[in-house]
Structure 1
């Protein structure tokens, strides 16, 4: 069944850079029900809904099946299937690991592999639930996005910077390299042992450096599908060969690259109108 979709994008406020990747308002008329598959991604969505609930299946590599109004999806290496029906309305905030900790009050390591009802997200859960309720009474997307932005700015002003500069630095290096930076090389630059760096990175992001690099690489490769051959995509993003690329898509998207492209799977990059080439 076809759906009617409205998408309102909102530029990230300078004070939120490094914490928020982007923010969008979404309205969708889904009729009797639409199932979608959300692939792995490097940003963590805080979904503040004021329409019909969304049904979330258990992630392929995680937990959190249930029916949600508003929720936070933590770092995940695999995919998750969702079902929406009726009139779905939400504001989606795409967060970095530091953003989850500072703005939502839920350390990324504690959200890893989980879908969490927003009311249960750290000490800020109730305030985010209240904002979700206010969105329904707000007239325009401009006002809704401004309401959420104001809450994010207020939270940022009350919290300290990154809890772990090493984890933040390594995350930035992996993101800028499209997941292709040498982890051994990054560890060497820190002057710490491999075990120490992995432990601190995992506390900061909820993933190992290798796991994070794999998700980032997949995300960048998925945005290249259609503009290059599969062999070129595999080579450009550091896969051993086309078969390696296909296996990674099966794990992280639950389907082949060709099926992924044909289905036009939504990603934060497409929602935000961005290209994330390496």
Structure 2
């Protein structure tokens, strides 16, 4: 395995020419998993599958967008000099921030006219300060979904529900409302991201560490989400990139 995986996954799972990742202060960690400022420069970018919801600000247009979870990798050429601020939310936090379930947001990007308390101009100039101001005083959402997401790593849906003392139907509703994905789909994307973030090693060992039955199971799932098997991806043999029209 090459070191390229390390560049791919990061917090957001995107390769672009220039990315500046910001340190998330303790006061925001209960809401935010990562913040960065990315600039495309006309080269190929890879957006890997992601079970998180992301707030994105197009700096040039002052356009605020909420991006639901991605269920497939995309390969595209970014328009030159387009910059954006990206805020990757923790499980369940975007639902509380937006005040609505996320069950219809998977693979969608929805423009937001406004987000109460969030100053778009300040977000472009100082993302940390803007988010601290917008989230100050907000009651912390329930941590049940994050707890469920942690338990789901390496466990079945049935086992996770039993450990939380809830029904599988209730667990399904918790995930679809809070992430836009079913628990099973959430776990499958998490495993692929674990493979992408893995250190160099034997594929069989990586498959076991990520929670797959075996290497062939990992290869099949990786191909489903990424379009090519792991070895081809690391070697740079990937699907053709398409122009980004956003």
Structure-2-length-normalised TM-score: 0.77
Q: Match for residue 141 of structure 1?
A: none
Aligned-partner Cα distance in 2 for 1:12–1:191: 33
Structure of higher RCO (CA pairs closer than 8 Å, 6+ residues apart):
2
Tell me the secondary structure at the aligned position of residue 33 of structure 2: strand
User: Would you say 1:112 and 2:132 are equivalent positions?
Assistant: no
Deviations 1:144-170 (A, max 9, x none): 3xx2222222222243222x5432321
The answer to whether the 8 A contact 1:38-1:253 is kept is no
Aligned-partner Cα distance in 1 for 2:231–2:63: 32
Aligned-partner Cα distance in 2 for 1:256–1:69: 36
For structure 1, the residue ranges without an aligned partner over 5 or more in a row are 54-67, 136-143, 266-278
Task: Indicate the larger mover: 77-86 or 211-220.
Answer: 77-86
The answer to whether the 8 A contact 2:117-2:133 is kept is no
Q: Match for residue 14 of structure 1?
A: 26
Which of 245, 250, 253 aligns to 2:218? It is 245
Structure 2 CA distance for partners of 1:37 and 1:10, relative to 1, 3 Å = closer
Q: Match for residue 78 of structure 2?
A: 84
Structure 2 CA distance for partners of 1:127 and 1:112, relative to 1, 3 Å = same
User: Would you say 1:203 and 2:212 are equivalent positions?
Assistant: no
Which of 156, 162, 170 aligns to 1:188? It is 162
The answer to whether the 8 A contact 2:157-2:168 is kept is no
Q: Match for residue 124 of structure 1?
A: 115
CA-based RMSD of the aligned residues comes to 3.0
Q: Match for residue 203 of structure 2?
A: 230
Q: Match for residue 48 of structure 2?
A: 39
- Larger helix proportion of the pair: 1
* 1:244 Cα deviation from its structure 2 partner: 1.5
